[in-house]
Amino acid sequence: MIVVTAANGNQGRLLIPKLTEARLPVRACVRSAASADRLLALGVPDVVVGDVSDPAVAERAMHGAQQVYHIGPTLHPREREMGFAVVDAARQAGVRHFVFSSVLHAITTDLVQHELKRDVEEHLLSSGLEFTILQPANYMLPLKLEPVFARGVFELSWSLERRQSMVDLGDVTDVARTVLVEGERHFGATYELVGPGRYTGHELGAIISRVLDRPVEVRRIDAGTYLKAWIGDQDPARCTHQLRVLRSITERYSSHDFVGNPNVLTWLLGRPPTTFEAYVRQQANGAA
């Protein structure tokens, strides 16, 4: 049994079908009944509903599990507590292998979400569990391309001159599947997952424009404006943690590049990682 937390999020929705295709039994953990209904409709038979920062919920989720894939929900104010509770429950349940989806350069603690994930990494390292830590770069997300398709504008909430490395979530979940299937081969490993290229905002916009064969404006927005894309209809006044996370991203990415190296990801995939251009082309074809 493999437990996947935050199972209705960006990673979980991609990973779970890959695990079930490999005929691995999956238990999904989600925070709401609506998320559970979506996964049940997709054929996931075992779903635990609740906040895994509650030790009782985490204990129920870990019962009978051999492996865990824990995804720290980046914008959730209790991300640290969730990680600690899942690690503790996994240890108590005798889980054989704990895989944690962390973040590239988790030691960069002026980024709020990095500090939280770094703390969970440390807790996992101290737990005595066999572990694998995945450290992906910035995700190539459909959310970031929605303004392009809707209004012809590519928006970033940090300096358009700073460079960033990115990674395709399809590649990340391919690695996660491999690590979970192969198990022991990856015990004790920490893997940086970084796609090819180091791009400024202007260069990303030029790639999008080339793929779409039309001009695309590249625009810098503030963290508050970017927050609205993430929270939807929620009241911004109730999303102080989320805004703090996004403001820390704006400040760090505007003063420093955020880059890595694709060698490890290439080795784990056994193929070249997905380029940003290929990702945009895929999304454009899906939106057409």
Give the pLDDT score at 288.
Answer: 59
What average pLDDT does the segment 35-44 reach? 87
Q: Are strands 97-101 and 131-136 parallel, antiparallel or unpaired?
A: parallel
Q: In CATH, what number does 2-139+167-193 get? A: 3.40.50.720
Q: Which amino acid belongs to residue 270? A: G
* Whole-number Å distance between alpha carbons of 53 and 44: 22
pLDDT tens digits for 56-86? 999 999 999 999 999 988 888 899 999 999 9
CA–CA distances in Å: residue 165 to residues 24, 26, 36, 113, 162: 32, 31, 33, 17, 10
Closest CA to 134 of 196, 71, 85: 71
Q: How far is CA 44 from the centre of its chain?
A: 20
The one-letter amino acid at 121: E
Whether residue 170 has pLDDT greater than 70: yes
Domain assignments of the chain as residue spans, ordered by start: 2-139+167-193
- Return all residues near 16 (Cβ < 8 A) that are at least 6 apart: 4, 7, 26, 28, 39, 42, 44
